[in-house]
Amino acid sequence: MSTMTSRRDAETQRKSKYLCVSESLWLVTVIIVAMVVTIAAQVRPTPQPPPRRTAPQPRTAPPPKRETPEPSETKPAPDRGPQGSAPQSTSAAVDPKADAGAALYKKNGCYECHVNDAQGGPQGPRLGPNPIPFPRFAAYVRNPAGDMPPFTAKVVSDQDLASIYAFLQSRPAPPPVKDIPLLAP
């Protein structure tokens, strides 16, 4: 019996030795897996710049062919408003004051809300053609009631404001809805 007991004791010691090793390996494996998961959760991918899109080359229209030279016309002086500050006519002729007003309109950022031709957009109302009277226009630009920032005389002078107003007056009227094929009933 003593041989059997000693054999069982030896076997028990061997099993506990293997059990101890396998428990240790199991514990080490769990710790390593936990560390890998933790590190993987903390690693973020390197941000990549968005793909670059190249704009297509703008199409250039050929200059119009003219068989006869344009007649030279002298432009009459523009009609002055009640205060003599801004022209009241909406002639189709090119007005240097309107051209200067267009440049100031873009320079001062008016196009950002009121769009390029002052036709209005999501952030700003339509300004031209046929804008509000000049004194009311100037008063609103200086002290606006809505989300528009005020433009003081230091930012936009009265003369520049009159040029911008001339640009707004020079805007052509849009065609009637019935003449637009996509909007026609």
Looking at 61-65, 138-142, 180-184, which range is the least confident one?
Answer: 61-65
- Whether residue 87 is predicted with pLDDT greater than 50 in this model: the reply is no
Number of CB atoms found within 10 A of residue 138's CB: 22
Find residue 87's DSSP bridge partners: 80
What's residue 156's pLDDT?
Answer: 92
pLDDT at 34 over 70: yes
Residue 69's pLDDT band, with cuts at 50, 70 and 90, is: low
pLDDT at 165: 92
pLDDT beyond 70 at 78:
no
**pLDDT > 90: what percent of the chain?**
16
- The DSSP annotation for the chain comes to -HHHHHHHHHHHHHHHHHHHHHHHHHHHHHHHHHHHHHHHHH--PPP-PPPP-PPPPPP-PPPPP-SSPPPP-PPPPPPB-TTSSSB----SS--HHHHHHHHHHHHTTTHHHH-TTS---SSS----SSPSPHHHHHHHHHS-SSSPPP--TTTS-HHHHHHHHHHHHHSPPPPPGGGSTTT--
The two structure tokens encoding residue 93? 């002729």
Task: Report residue 34 as tokens.
Answer: 């936990």
Asked whether the CA dihedral 159, 162, 166, 167 is positive or negative, the reply is positive
